[in-house]
Amino acid sequence: MLELYVARHGQDVDNQNGILNGHRDEPLTPLGEEQARTVAGEIRTAGLRFDHVYASPLQRAFKTAEIIARESGQPEPIKEDLLIERDFGVMTGEPISRIEELCAPDIIKTDTITYFLDPEGGETFPHVLERAVKLLASLRSKHTDGKILLVTHGDLGKMLYAYFYDLPWQQVLTDFHFGNSEILYLAEGADLKKTRLFTSTQFNQ
């Protein structure tokens, strides 16, 4: 059976400063590096051994993958372009605090985040869902079983979860918060109540 573990990157400079990053390529903060080391410790304690590690090419994700791999004894990460964050279009670099002002009514609000749905020049969630489909097809063509770690970003991670478990993407946006360095578990027949791994109040950016 193929088991996928989808990790979000640690906190980066844009997360810290309340800026919408998208394809911006800012580094991890010291807290972000600590988050990656912490989840690596959780992985080590759980006895998880990954057969392959793939990561988004953006440095906040790839550095997270490198830290996790080094600290928990995993294979070196491989860059996978399909794991890159959603393209935020004109919202790239805007303050998170202005999402509602700039994008309403095309938004979905939760207790922790406000999602903008149709940014000019960017990807919609259905577009990101299509990318998730391509990624999973590619992985399944290469690997029929084993454990694979995917280090990615919040929006793509949620669309992977939505497609894998055949859930409406709108529902997945509102069902839970996917914080920095948290991990989602994707496997056939999994109990959805047990698919969020190593969650912590420190992983909340």
- Per residue in 128-165, pLDDT tens? 999 999 999 999 999 999 999 999 999 999 999 999 99
Decide if 204 is inside a domain: no
**pLDDT band at 200; cut points 50, 70, 90:** low
**Catalytic residue, candidates 85, 94, 123, 182:** 85
Instruction: Identify the pLDDT of residue 148.
Output: 98
State mean pLDDT over 94-115: 97
Reported pTM = 0.96
CATH number of the domain that residue 119 is part of: 3.40.50.1240
Please indicate, yes or no, if residue 203 is contained in any of the structural domains. no
Q: Is 182 a catalytic residue?
A: no
Q: Would 205 be classed as within a structural domain?
A: no
Domain range spanning residue 171? 2-197
> Does residue 13 lie in a domain region?
yes
User: Is residue 101 flagged as an active site residue?
Assistant: no
To which residue do tokens 């489909």 refer?
A: 133
Does 103 map to a domain?
Answer: yes
